Structures are given as C-alpha cells and as structure tokens.
Amino acid sequence: MPVTAIVGAQWGDEGKGKITDLLAEAADLVIRFGGGSNAGHTVINGLGEFKLHLLPSGIFNAAAISLLGTGMVVDFAALQRELDDLRRAGVSGSGLRISNRAQVVMPYHIVLDRLLDEARGEERVGTTQRGIGPAYADKVARLGIQTGDILFPDVVRRKLDLLLPETNRTLLRLGHPAIDPADIMRQAGEWRECFGTLLVDQVELVDRYLTEQRPIVLEGQLGAMRDIDWGEYPYVTSSTTIAGGGAVGGGVPPAAIDRVVGVVKAYTTAVGTGPMPTELHGVEADDLRTKGAEFGATTGRPRRVGWFDGPAACYARRLNGFTDMAVTKLDVLSGLESIPICVAYDVAGRASSDMPVTPLLRDAEPVFESVPGWEADISDIRSWFDLPSEARFYLSRLEELVGAKAGIVSVGPHRAQTILR
C-alpha cells in the first residue's frame, strides 16, 4: 500500500516542507500527524514561496486532501491567518480537512506556554510560544477540547467550567488576568462557523484511501532529537516526531506505512535550548548560518548551526526505520576546502556512536573526521553523476554513518532543485 512517511532526522528544519511538497505532487491524501503551529515548513514552488505552520505541505496539490491529523494541536486563529495568506497568493486550500479528534490550542495555552517557559529560568526549553506544551498537557490530563467539540457548544462550556478554575489560578499566580469563559465561547462560535464543515472522521477517510490503494503522504513535524519520548528530554517538543507517530496521530495502521523518508540536512541546525554536540560558535558559525540562511521559519530566531552529526542521524534512522533518506542543503557546503563530519561522541572518555541520555549528551565531545570539499556551485545540477566526486563522496559517508541510502538530494530551496536517484 502506497503510504510514505516523511520525518525529520535531526533537530527540526531539515527541509521536510520542501520534500513533502515534492512527494505530495503524486499523493491523494497528505496528513500532518503531529505538532501544531510550532512548525515552520518552507515551500518554494511554481506558485510562490510559503511558510506553512499548520497546513500540510501538500496543500499546493489542488487534487489532494490535506488533513490536519488527530495527533495535532490546532490553533484555529493561526489556521485562519495561514489560509488568508495562501488565498492572497492565489492558492485556494480547498483540499483542507481537519480531524474531528485533534486537539484545540486555546488562547490560554499560548499565554501559559510563554509564562511557564519563562518561569523555568535557566532550565527553559525556548519553545516557539505557540501553546504546544500546555495543549498536549491538557490532552493527556483529559482536560483538552477536541476539534469536534466545537460543534457542541454545551460540551465546550462544560469542559471550560471544569478546567478554567485551575487554569485561571495558574494564570493569576503568574501575573496574568483570568480568562473569561464567555470570551472563549464567542471564539469557539467563530471557529465553528469557519471550520465546522471541514471536520472529518479521519478513520473513515484513511481507510477508504487505503482500500482504494490511493497514495498517502504522512508529514512529520520537527525531528527525532526533539521527540517527546526519544529526544533530548526535557529540551523537546510535546509530541511524537517519528514515523510511529504517523500510525498513532495519522490514523494509518503501522503495517500500511511502506516507505519512511528521513530528511537530513547536510549539516546540523537547532532552535531552542538543549545539547547540540557539533555546535559551532563565532565566525565559523556566522558563515554557515549566513550561507544557509538559517533563521527560524516560525519565530525568526537565528538557528544554532554545526557540522553533520552522524550519531544523531543514525539514532533517527534506528527509531524511524528509514527506507531512504533525503539529504537537503548540500549546496550550502560548496566552497569549503574540507568538511568535518561527526562520526562518534566521546562520552566520559569512551567513543561511541550510540545516543546517550541527556545528562551525558550535554558533555559529549564530537569526534570528527574531515573529508575533502568541492568548489563548484551545485545548485543547477539535476543528476547524481554530475555532482562533483567530492560531493558524492560526502554523501556516501553520510549514507554509511546513517545506514540509509540518499535517494533524494536537494541542492536548493526550490522544488525543482532536486536530484532523484
């Protein structure tokens, strides 16, 4: 059955949006299976340049359904803004559907995200402040409001009566005014009016497409190192970023997923706090950041940058079971005399390519090897064999370290700047 999951193999921003846009051309259903508007997925295609936060990157395929899956937390106000931007650019977004079992990011989740992360002081996660953590916390505490609830105002009101007293106590303690339930009920009415008809039964939809053997793409959010279970906890997001989440949040039975594309950037970037063993500083970091235009698609924050981290990408392959890998931003490395690659970590005097737990990762020293760089601009190359031999060698080294074949190589941000092997 033709189901492809596309997942991030590092700390996010690997280029999942570009790869999803590319593979979604041939899909009938594209599902975002986790996260919320913390995502910033950049797509550059014949229709223009777009930064998507909630919308699946398949939204440009007018013939496909683009579904916000059950594993997501949906901020309806942000969704409205995103749709308005798209429509201004001439994209109708008519394929949009929303699972009726996803969670709603409420206005108080967004306020709490900022206040609670600030209150952690030195231990802050540096979240995107999009309400993600508090929304997932309410979900598992069984205090969440599901997207489908907006069709039942009495249900929303009862849930607010249950949860707001405690939420308001927390807000007041953090110096923020209490939330008025009437205000939320008014907004919920607007969401019902704008999005009520887009709510669907995801299980029926997915089952129908699977039965008809129609191609499905599962689009991941963030990367394995920020996964709630497997990432560098607690400096992680609050959702599942790995392919298994495509089954849980995407509503696709696990055995139906037959291709898992791990997206890796040819070097490493991260936004937010937490260990990043190959991180560069000073002029070297500034150069790489400028060449790669590494500024966050959601918050505009300068991204932390570093060399390719073999243990991290291998860890992601082990967790996700990549059938193949998409290596992005190879063009950014052109012009370097030699390129360091982290092949292992030195953890307390012992070299290992396994991923240690966070307290040990914090002090892990990267073990580098250097491979020759290449001078030529490769952004117009469209065939594997036209790549400089050094670039092919670099990719083959990444393949060995990760344990997956680079079936897709991206040499520029545009959909067309792609080598399919």
226 binds, among ligand IMO, Mg ion, ligand GDP, none (CB under 5 to 8 A by kind): ligand IMO
8 vs 131, which CB is nearer to ligand GDP? Answer: 8
Catalytic residue list contains 13:
yes
Tell me the C-alpha distance between 230 and 333, whole Å.
29
Nearer to ligand IMO, 14 or 331 (CB): 14
Of residues 205 and 305, the one with the C-beta less far from ligand IMO: 305
**3-state class (DSSP) for residue 182:** helix
Q: Name residues contacting ligand GDP, limited to 27-46 (CB under 6 A).
A: 40-42, 44
DSSP type of residue 356: -
| Helices (H) then strands (E): counts for the chain | 12, 20
User: How many residues belong to the site for ligand GDP (CB under 6 A)?
Assistant: 21
Report in angstroms the alpha-carbon separations of 71 from 98, 250, 410. 11, 7, 28
Within 170-315, strands assigned E span 199-200, 216-223, 259-265, 268-270, 304-306, 308-309
| 132: contact with ligand IMO by CB under 6 A | yes
In the complex, the smallest distance separating the C-beta of residue 267 from ligand IMO, rounded to whole angstroms, is 15
CB of 273 to ligand IMO, least distance (A): 6
Asked if 332 touches ligand GDP (CB under 6 A), the answer is yes
Q: Which is the catalytic residue, given 13, 117, 149, 331?
A: 13
d(CA 193, CA 172): 31
The region of 91-99, 162-170, 177-185, 218-226 touching ligand IMO under the rule CB under 6 A is 218-226
Site for Mg ion in 94-123 (CB under 5 A): none
CB of 8 vs ligand GDP, minimal distance in Å: 6
Distances in whole angstroms, Cα of residue 356 to Cα of each of 111, 123, 188, 348, 370: 34, 20, 44, 11, 23
56 binds ligand IMO (CB under 6 A): no
Judged by CB under 6 A, the residue of 24, 39, 199, 361 near ligand IMO is 39
Tokens representing 271? 């936004």
Site string for ligand IMO, 246-275 (x = CB under 6 A): -------------------------xx---
Helices 181-195 and 76-88 pack at an angle, to 10 degrees, of 40
Compute how many other C-beta atoms are within 10 angstroms of the C-beta atom of residue 74.
23
Q: Single out the residue of 222, 225, 266, 347 in contact with ligand IMO (rule: CB under 6 A).
A: 222
| 408 near Mg ion, rule: CB under 5 A | no
Stretch that binds ligand IMO, among 5-13, 255-263, 276-284, 367-375 (CB under 6 A): 5-13
Strands 41-45 and 48-52, by their bridges, are antiparallel
Nearer to ligand IMO, 100 or 269 (CB): 269
Nearest-CA neighbor of 227 among 117, 71, 370, 374?
A: 71
Min dist. Cβ of residue 60 to ligand GDP (A): 14
Distance CA 56, CA 32 (A): 5
- Catalytic site includes residue 414: no
Q: How many residues line the site for ligand IMO (CB under 6 A)?
A: 22
Picking from 306, 292, 371, the residue whose alpha carbon sits closest to that of residue 338 is 371
User: What DSSP letter does each residue of 14-54 carry, written as one string?
Assistant: SSHHHHHHHHHTT-SEEEE-SB-TT--EEEEETTEEEEESS
Taking CB under 6 A as the rule, does residue 40 contact ligand IMO?
yes
Residue 237 interacting with ligand IMO (CB under 6 A): yes
Catalytic residue among 21, 41, 53, 109: 41
Q: Can you state the angle between helices 153-173 and 181-195, rounded to 10 degrees? A: 130
| Residues facing 199 on adjacent strands | 98
d(CA 355, CA 352): 8
Least distance (Å) from Mg ion to the CB of residue 300? 12
287-316 footprint of ligand GDP as x/- string (CB under 6 A)? ----------x-------------------
13 binds Mg ion (CB under 5 A): yes
Binding site for ligand IMO (CB under 6 A): 8, 12-13, 38-41, 125-128, 130, 132-133, 221-222, 226, 237-238, 271-272, 297
Question: Where in the sequence numbering do the catalytic residues fall?
Answer: 13, 41
Binding site for ligand GDP (CB under 6 A): 8, 12-18, 40-42, 44, 297, 328-329, 331-332, 410-413
